[in-house]
Amino acid sequence: MVFLPVIPMDRIALNERKATGSTANISFRHEDKIYISASGTCFGTLKEEEFAVLDLKGEHIAGPKPSKEAPLHLLMYQKKGSGAVIHTHSFYSTLWSCLPHESMIDIMPEHTPYLKMKLGKVGLIPYAPPGSRELFGLFEEHMEGSDGYLLQNHGPVVGAASMMDAFYAIEELEESARIAWSLRQVDALIC
């Protein structure tokens, strides 16, 4: 198997509140294969042998059972040309995904310039149950015009050229959502 790209898994995992338990998934592309964390794995303890191997069409060709959300990752590779994809259920991003938004194409306010610099526009994907065909269909239907995504009432999906770029983007998305939520609370107190 291919060695995992160097990523700060401890920063993504529990101590940064980006992922808890076994609720997130991560993948990367190497040549003509996709390596995705197996179903039920934990970022904080993820090992090389806990990655499933898929071809570019999504066929499982080696390793353990892939995450049930592998089709989200595949769409990021096929439609966005990503080299790595991270999906978490991080607190503030998920919280922000639960609110009503005027635009589905870019739902994050620009309180700082960094989210646009690291990721771009963040679209909202309407709710459907995790791992469902309905979710995958909605994701594909609403990908256009956005660079990263919040699955409504679920969490973020971010792709980038490299694993580190995807990590920096999802970290910036979570921080931007935290700032937006905090400022929303301040506005509520002032009014």
Task: Write the pLDDT tens digit of every residue in 24-60.
Answer: 899 999 999 999 999 888 877 888 899 999 999 999 9
Q: What 8-state DSSP symbol labels residue 101?
A: -
- pLDDT for the residue numbered 157: 98
Q: Enter the tokens of residue 99.
A: 């609110």
Q: What 8-state DSSP symbol labels residue 28?
A: E
For the question of whether the overall pTM of this predicted structure is more than 0.75, the answer is yes
Q: Enter the tokens of residue 87.
A: 């999906």
Task: Write the pLDDT tens digit of every residue in 130-157.
Answer: 999 999 999 999 999 999 999 999 999 9
- The answer to whether the CB of 115 falls within 8 A of the CB of 122 is yes
- The answer to whether the CB of 24 falls within 8 A of the CB of 43 is yes
- The answer to whether the CB of 169 falls within 8 A of the CB of 114 is no
Mean pLDDT of the chain: 89
Catalytic residues: 69, 114
Single-letter residue type at 151: L
CA nearest 12: which of 157, 120, 175, 171? 171
| Lowest mean pLDDT segment, chosen from 13-27, 66-80, 127-141 | 13-27
- The answer to whether the CB of 30 falls within 8 A of the CB of 2 is yes
